[in-house]
Structure 1
Amino acid sequence: MRVLLWLLAAVTHVCMVNANVEKTIFLGPPSVRIPNDRPTLDDLRLDVLEAVHAPILETQLAVQFPTKLAPRGLESWYLLRGLEEGRRYEVRICWPATSPTDFWLDTYTLAEVFDTAEFISSLFTYSEGRQKLPLEVPASRVEVSQSSTLFLRIQAAASFYSTNRTLMKEPPAVAADIILDPFILNILPRSLAPVAVYISVVSIGAWFLSGYIYRWLLSIATEPLTKAHPD
């Protein structure tokens, strides 16, 4: 047990040193029919994450300092596609510890977004700034008319202070990885499975090794002492 706790602490420490992590956990929603007639969701020019085809997105996230109108900084929108209804998922964002930033992650169904004026306005503003980007439709999505899909909203606020006026006026974009991670049996994130297997193997090996060492030391301690005989 001590070995297991030590390994967990070591893995956690390494992750904290290299990067910060924020996440949200959710269940895949029921599939909905998505019209193939344009405009479609693809016309929003949003980056897409799919658990099978594209689970990791490397990106540069624009940030700003909190204001009264935007207490959580800038908002960006993404699509989560190819989900399984009722399956647990985790979306996490990882970014360097050298870029102090606060992130908030939220997922919404298509109906929640399109029925909420605040969300529609934010989504339209973000999409409008991406219309110059080329429209790339994944091959797996060309003929799909029904899918379990969610919107992902990320809010990013810079959380540092500098005497550099330029940095305080326009904080640099933050390099980040956005990861869509399905759970195995709704218990453990898939990406953590190798770590869990490694910890289990090491723990079992340590248990058997400690038993062997204990028996070896016990056998030495119980051996009778041989007395030296005078010539």
Structure 2
Amino acid sequence: MWSVKHFTFPLALLMAAVCEGNTEKSIFLAPATVNIPAHQPTLEVLGLDVLTPTRSSIRSHLNASFPDAGSAVGSATWFLLDDLRPSQRYELRVCWAATQPTNFILDVYPLEKVWETPDLIASLASYVESRASIGTTEPVDASSNAAGDKTRGRGRTTSESEASVMLLRVLAAADYYSHNAVVMTHVDPVLVDIILDPYLVNIVPQSLAPTVVYMTLVAGLAWALAQRIRNHLLVLTSSPEQAVRKAM
């Protein structure tokens, strides 16, 4: 006979799978296309990491900090969302290990919103300057690479173009307490996966499409099997005369 101990190991595996990571997400609609100038200044000079529908994930270490009077929501990291399809729904996800307790806030802005908001443009400028100062990246010269690597910079340098682009701000605030003074004064960068997931016909995320197809097939097979079992039970519970008529 089965006992509780037979389920202990599978249950432990299930709990481990559930507890191994956290996810924060944001859903948005891509804006209409805007004119991207080829002359300076361009988006390349920002040197931001870029997410596109074809390059939909980035693994990176993000700076985090404890909330304080100077930064009530933690440290800001900026990304460029490029080559979006206007009016299409997208889901952004940040996934990180549960061993690094962190609160994330995802904000997605159209370009004009950032340019017109002093706090946002100041945050973006501060992030770009901090990356350049520590050598994480350097502003890209728009005349240096016509082909462009869309990991950083847009690479559209030959002529003006129309594109649906947005800026993503990720705020990371450390969410733990320790008696170790060093740990409380120095927050280690958080290893994260940032994923851009387009919706299919604006209904379901593309990453869930295989799951939806699988569940639909399972539901269809279960319904067909249930009908066969039901008909068989009706035959067994009916009178011999009714069973003969149904069999005929």
Q: Any residues of structure 2 matched to 1:103-114 within 5 Å, and which?
A: 103-114=104-115
Q: Any residues of structure 2 matched to 1:83-98 within 5 Å, and which?
A: 83-98=84-99
Partner of 2:177 in structure 1? Answer: 161
d(CA) in 1 for partners of 2:36 and 2:214? Answer: 42
1:152 aligns to 2:154 (yes or no): no
The CA deviation at 1:17 is 3.0
Partner of 2:127 in structure 1? Answer: 126
d(CA) in 2 for partners of 1:37 and 1:14? Answer: 52
Give 5+ residue unaligned stretches, structure 2.
1-14, 241-248
Partner of 1:31 in structure 2? Answer: 33
Shift of the 193–14 alpha-carbon distance from structure 1 to 2, 3 Å rule, reads farther
TM-score (norm. length: structure 2)? 0.77
Q: Any residues of structure 2 matched to 1:1-231 within 5 Å, and which?
A: 16-51=18-53, 53-131=54-132, 132=135, 133=137, 135=140, 137-138=148-149, 141-142=155-156, 143=158, 145-220=161-236
More deviation in 160-169 or 80-89? 160-169
Deviations 1:103-141 (A, max 9, x none): 100111111111111111110110012223254833674
The CA deviation at 1:181 is 1.0
Corresponding residue SS for 1:205: helix
The CA deviation at 1:14 is 8.5
Corresponding residue SS for 2:124: helix
- Percent of residue pairs bearing the same amino acid type: 40
The CA deviation at 1:101 is 0.7
Corresponding residue SS for 1:207: helix
Corresponding residue SS for 1:130: helix
Letter paired with 1:58? R
The CA deviation at 1:206 is 1.9
d(CA) in 2 for partners of 1:24 and 1:152? Answer: 10
Is the CA contact (8 Å cut-off) linking 2:44 and 2:155 kept in structure 1?
A: no
Corresponding residue SS for 1:171: coil
d(CA) in 2 for partners of 1:15 and 1:179? Answer: 20
Corresponding residue SS for 2:216: helix
Deviations 1:65-115 (A, max 9, x none): 111221110011110000111111111111112211111001111111111
d(CA) in 1 for partners of 2:17 and 2:73? Answer: 25
RMSD: 2.2
Corresponding residue SS for 1:95: strand
d(CA) in 2 for partners of 1:191 and 1:107? Answer: 20
TM-score (norm. length: structure 1)? 0.83
Is the CA contact (8 Å cut-off) linking 2:19 and 2:98 kept in structure 1?
A: yes
Q: Tell me how many residue pairs correspond in the alignment.
A: 211
